Amino acid sequence: MESKVSRKLALVPKKFAELRIKDVLTVERDHKIKIYELIKDVDVLHKKEAQALHNETQLREEFAKLKKKKQENMRTLQKRKESMAMMANNRKYGANTGKWAVVTGSSDGIGKEYAVQLAKKGFNIFLISRTQSKLDALSEEISSKYKVETKSLAIDFASDKPSNYELMSQVIKSLPVTILINNVGQSHSIPVPFAETEEQELRNIITINNTATLRTTQIIIPYIQDTLKANKGTRGLILTMGSFGGLLPTPYLATYSGSKAFLQSWSAALAGELSPQGIDVELVISYLVTSAMSKIRRASMTIPSPKVFVASTLRSVGRRCGAQDRFATVTPFWAHALMQWWIENTVGVYSKVANTLNLKMHQDIRKRALKKQARLQKQE
Ligand SMILES: NC(=O)c1ccc[n+]([C@@H]2O[C@H](COP(=O)([O-])OP(=O)(O)OC[C@H]3O[C@@H](n4cnc5c(N)ncnc54)[C@H](OP(=O)(O)O)[C@@H]3O)[C@@H](O)[C@H]2O)c1
């Protein structure tokens, strides 16, 4: 017989159970609400994240645009600075005021470019070279294109005749000269051991590269001095073409190498003498440039065309460009400057390593040149 109490007691687990179900439902509901709230939060966060990403992309794009614009502005600024410096340079030497530039070896290659680019800057040009027909054609081209005056003189510097220099003086004595470009030069027809170098080639190289350069400079200096006296504030300029052949002792081009090394010392010494008088003297060092002399036709990163080479030279005059570790000496073309820097800071220009590498390189060039000569002879 169930007592009242026991009946009540029997109800207790049921109550508990109901209570538990109620609790569970409440908890479940709370969880659902929480989950719903969390989903909502996550959704909001997703949207915020997407917005932030969008903003970030936009900012990145804007940043990239600003960076590009800044680079463009820097380039324009640099170009402006360079052209201002160029204009100042040109004014310094008397551009567009009837002043004259004398360029030797000016009918071809690098010399022709010096003549053209100086005419473009507003200098009258006195062209000196070997072939009259080439000089006439260039005179005509320069004067009609750039509206400057020209004069020309066809002489063979190799002959070393005193009459050559008399003729030069005759032309120059009436001209207000401020610039001399000592460009004329000759190298060996192909690399050759010194002992086998033909006497005529040896004499020509020394006569053209050294004697003619010195005599021409000696004749022209007084005329530059006179021009500067009559034109206060104007400066004079004497540029002389050096070479990597003179920078590095070069086996198989020994005479050419020595003649260009001679110009290094001579030009720097002259710079010391003439600088106080307002005449800038610089030796221009160059590795290969496309020309008849180098026998290279196609320009590359390390071998510029005469146009590119001369533009970099005229840009560098009186400024810190290219390799300038030596007084009054410049290696204006950037790739040549890097090469010079690398050689000077690794093996060194006068080292055995540099000499041996140079020897191997020129022995190979000689071999190829002799093969080509033999091939051509067979074809004849
Ligand atoms: N090209 C290179 O890779 C290189 C590298 C380093 C240094 N350089 C130096 O740069 C200078 C110019 O070289 P480039 O390659 O432009 O030479 P290029 O193309 O052979 O031109 C030489 C110029 O000099 C004239 N010339 C040659 N012999 C002459 C003589 N006996 N009398 C009068 N004029 C003469 C030539 O006149 P014609 O046209 O009438 O023959 C021509 O106008 C030289 O001093 C050279 O040593 C050149």
User: Dihedral of the CA atoms 373, 378, 379, 380 (nearest 10)?
Assistant: 90
User: Contact at 8 Å (CB) between 274 and 222?
Assistant: no
How far apart (Å, rounded) are the C-alpha atoms in residues 352 and 201?
27
pLDDT value for 355: 98
Measure CA of the first residue to CA of the last residue in the chain; give whole Å: 143
Strands (E), 138-194: 150-154, 177-182
Mean pLDDT estimate for the chain: 93
Q: How much is the average pLDDT of 38-60?
A: 92
Q: Kindly tell me if the per-residue pLDDT of 27 is higher than 90.
A: no
Q: What DSSP string runs through 57-105? A: HHHHHHHHHHHHHHHHHHHHHHHHHHHHHHHHHHHHTTTTTT-EEEEES
> Is the CB–ligand 1 distance for residue 305 below 6 Å?
no
Q: Tell me, what's the pLDDT at 11?
A: 66
Share above pLDDT 90 across residues of the chain, in percent, rounded to a whole number: 81
Residues known to be catalytic: 256
Instruction: Assess contact for 348 and 151: CB atoms under 8 A.
Output: no
Task: Provide the pLDDT confidence category of residue 7 given band limits of 50, 70 and 90.
Answer: confident
Least confident of 39-48, 262-271, 305-314: 39-48
**Ligand 1 close to Cβ of residue 105 (< 6 A):** yes
Domain with 364 in it: 94-378
Q: Are 102 and 126 in contact (CB under 8 A)?
A: yes
Identify which of 103, 126, 129 to mutate to test ligand 1's pocket (most ligand atoms within 8 A of the CB): 129
Tokens matching residue 196 = 């086998």
Distance CA 322, CA 245 (A): 18
Question: Helix or strand or coil: residue 29?
Answer: helix
Residue 234 is assigned to a structural domain of this protein: yes
pLDDT of 180 over the 70 cut: yes
Contact 248 CB / ligand 1 (< 6 Å): no
**CA distances for 183 relative to 15, 128, 311, angstroms:** 116, 10, 15
Q: How far apart are CA 293 and CA 301, in angstroms?
A: 19
pLDDT tens, residue by residue, 147-159? 999 999 999 999 9
The pLDDT value given to residue 15: 62
Say if residue 187's pLDDT is above 90: yes
Q: Is residue 255 one of the residues assigned to a domain?
A: yes
Atom of ligand 1 nearest to the CA of 256: 47
CATH number at residue 185: 3.40.50.720
Lowest mean pLDDT among 27-36, 218-227, 276-285: 27-36
- Asked if pLDDT for residue 276 goes beyond 70, the answer is yes
Ligand 1 contact via 186 beta carbon (within 6 Å): yes
Rounded to the nearest angstrom, the distance between the alpha carbon of 20 and the centre of ligand 1 is 108
- Would residue 24 count as lying in a domain? no
pLDDT tens readout for residues 211-267: 999 999 999 999 999 999 999 999 999 999 999 999 999 999 999 999 999 999 999
The residue among 325 and 128 whose pLDDT is bigger is: 128
CA distance 333 to 323: 9
Ligand 1 center–CA 253 separation, angstroms: 16
Confidence bin at 63 (pLDDT 50/70/90): very high
Report the range of poorest mean pLDDT among 7-11, 211-215, 257-261, 358-362: 7-11
- As a whole number of angstroms, the distance between CA 92 and CA 109 comes to 26
Q: Are strands 236-241 and 177-182 parallel, antiparallel or unpaired?
A: parallel
11: in domain: no
Tell me whether residue 26 is in a domain.
Answer: no
- On whether 243 is known to bind a ligand per the annotation, the reply is yes
pLDDT in tens, 94-143: 999 999 999 999 999 999 999 999 999 999 999 999 999 999 999 999 99
Cα angle vertex 307, ends 219, 204, to 5°? 45
Distance 292 CA to ligand 1 centre (A): 8
pLDDT above 70 as % of the chain = 94
Residue 77 forms part of a structural domain? no
pLDDT over 80 at 319, yes or no = no
40 found inside a domain: no
Backbone conformation region of residue 223, classed left if phi is above 0, alpha if psi is from -120 to 50, else beta = alpha
The total number of structural domains that make up the chain: 1
Domain assignment present for 147 = yes
